[in-house]
Chain A
Amino acid sequence: MTGVADILDWARQQVAKRVPKADLDQRDPDYIRDQLPGLWLLASLYFRADVRGLDRIPAEGPVLLVGNHSGGNVPPDTFVFTLAFCSYFGVERPFYQLVHNLVALYPALGWLPKFGTVAASPDNARLALESGAAVLVYPGGDYEVYRPSWQRHVVELGGRKGFVRLARETAVPIVPVASVGGQETALFLGRGQGLARLLMLDKVLRLKSLPISVALPWGLNVTDWLGHIPLPAKIVIEVQEPIEATGDDQAVYDEVVASLQAGVDRLAAERRFPVIG
């Protein structure tokens, strides 16, 4: 067993070593500006997105935006909110998005740093917040995006409270960002957590899931590592009131989850049909 543990430890170190430290200078406002029209077309025509409550985000200074995450490895909520934030506050306001380490390492997504996307780590998030930027984080991450589609309106951050400590230590407000629609872009059947544990992916790659879904163009889609073509589900996002991280971790965490869940419930109540919205 010692041998297996050593191998796992070595593999974990290899992955950790390759996780890039955030280089905030890679964010390129002109590049973002060039991409906004294409994203606007995708958000407006394909996902018929609706983003509300952006005025609840403090107009300046660092802020930690905490969202619920949906849509497997092709989560439309991230790009729709990024588009809305950049349009509302201008590409001049520094804004960074935290993504799973493997996404940051994926060669085909080498353009993400220009958008301000950095690998999710406490150090990277602190660096961005201390520079005065807004930071978007999805604590539920790979755990939440693969929840079954019939739980699409359930907020599951998986008990990950790192964002609360981060907000407290950097003295920035937390602004919850609730969204619905992402989990209707494919039929997600389950996380496959047992399979992930069996293959030790949770220890090596920090992957707690090996999800199974029915998605275009694959049909039965295991892992979703190659992504999928999302169905044109209507994406609705609502920014909630800011929360100060002044209580203990659990209390603040519960308050954020409650705020997100209330927002999701409100948006879900407006939906008449899956995908169509």
Chain B
Amino acid sequence: MRVERRVTLNADRDTVWKVLGDPDGYPSLLPHLQRWEAVTEGPPGVGSRYTVLWEVGAIPVGGIVEVVEFDTARDLAWISITGVTQRGRFRLRDAGPGRTTVTFRLAYHSDGGLLGLIADRIAARQVGRSLSESLKNLQRLVES
């Protein structure tokens, strides 16, 4: 299941990257996060790992994720190492002078065959809401 939300912000890419390029600050950006802890030490970059748990339905869902793409002011992507299989990405692109379009994508897949498919589909609405709220938070942070 892939969920995607997009927003165009009145801020340049460097300003937006100051927020998105610092995963340690994601708890103030991403709603419904129950746990976000750095597993690795040092500045964020490719190979950085975090324990991430989102409140989805009855329980926290997630696991350990690893940053696999850290392209300054362009892309930040991660994949899951444990827990629900997921790929996430923030994608920053120019949208005219002083403006940036940010795309937030989350692709995830639960095991368990048919029940996994149903769970993924049911969770999609809540995941979509979380992504939308994240982008609203981002807008508030960079445009204020």
Residues on A lying within 8 angstroms of B by beta carbon are 33-38, 40-41, 43-45, 47-51, 54-55, 80, 83-84, 87-88, 90, 92
Contact = CB atoms under 8 A, between A and B. Distances in A.
Contacts of B35: 55, 88
Contact of B119 (A40, A47, A51, A88): A40
Contact of B60 (A37, A47, A88, A92): A88
B103 to A, nearest CB: 27
A225 B118 CA distance: 32
A54 B111 contact: no
B113 A40 contact: no
State the main secondary structure of chain B at its contact with A: mixed
A87 B59 contact: yes
Interface residues of B, number: 23
Contact of A41 (B63, B64, B82, B118): B118
A-B interface, 4 closest residue pairs, ranked by CB to CB distance from nearest = A44-B57, A49-B58, A37-B119, A37-B112
B135 to A, nearest CB: 25
Interface string B101-144: 00000000011110110111010000000000000000000000
10 contacts: A37-B116, A37-B118, A37-B120, A44-B57, A45-B122, A51-B58, A54-B34, A54-B60, A90-B63, A92-B82
Contacts of A80: 58-59
A40 B111 contact: no
B59 A43 contact: yes
B11 interface: no
Given A38-B115, A87-B83, A92-B82, 20 more contacts: A34-B113, A36-B112, A37-B110, A37-B115, A38-B112, A40-B57, A40-B58, A50-B58, A83-B59, A84-B58, A84-B59, A87-B59, A87-B60, A87-B61, A88-B35, A88-B59, A88-B60, A90-B63, A90-B64, A90-B83
Nearest to B57: A44
Contacts of B120: 37
Contacts, number: 73
B59 A51 contact: yes
Nearest to A54: B60
Contacts of A49: 58-59
Nearest to A87: B59
Contacts of A34: 111-113, 116
Interface string B81-94: 01100000000000
Contacts of A38: 112, 115, 119
B53 interface: yes
A152 B112 CA distance: 34
B122 A41 contact: yes
B113 A41 contact: no
Contacts of B119: 37-38, 40-41
B122 to A, nearest CB: 7
